[in-house]
Amino acid sequence: MVNAGHAFKGTRIGSGYSAAAAGRHLDDERVRGAVDRTVVSYWCVDGHETRPTFAKLTDEEIPEIWECGRCGRPAGRSPGVELNIDGDEPFKSHLQYVKERRTEEEAVQVLERALAQLRQRRSL
């Protein structure tokens, strides 16, 4: 097999020089286009810390409330403060939503069917 000399064998796109860069390294352009960033800490009522990264913003532009990355509850910029957000329904876990849709008896029936199917597969 003949190599024509212009193949990208063993290289990644954007990892080296290009004719369009006219002798400049592509990383030089990335450095000039970089934006200053701000990392902001938010805490939910359970004490989970979420640290999203924003472009450099003023304090007025940074959101006061952010969704917790672990539990999904609203998180504020001060630790240990419970947030009351008007108009939003309170946080519900997956189990709470399931309990709204099914009675206790229906849940037992679903569990029994699932266990029966599992036992049947294991006995094969």
pLDDT in tens, 45-88: 888 899 999 888 888 888 888 888 888 788 888 887 777 666 55
Q: What is the pLDDT of residue 30?
A: 56
Answer whether residue 1 shows pLDDT above 50. no
Q: What is the pLDDT of residue 59?
A: 82
Does domain 20-89 fall into CATH 1.25.40? no
* 73 or 24, which is more confident: 73
Q: Are 39 and 51 in contact (CB under 8 A)?
A: yes
Query: Band of the pLDDT at 41, cuts 50, 70, 90?
Result: very high
Beta-strand ranges (E) seen in 64-116 are 65-67, 74-76
Q: What is the pLDDT of residue 78?
A: 83
* Residue 9 vs residues 6, 14, 57, 82, 97: alpha-carbon distances, Å: 9, 13, 42, 56, 53
Answer whether residue 119 shows pLDDT above 90. yes
pTM for the whole structure: 0.45
Query: Band of the pLDDT at 89, cuts 50, 70, 90?
Result: low
- The region, left, alpha or beta by phi > 0 then psi within -120 to 50, assigned to residue 27 is alpha
- Please report, for the chain, the start and end positions of each structural domain, with discontinuous segments joined by +: 20-89, 92-124
Answer whether residue 2 shows pLDDT above 50. yes
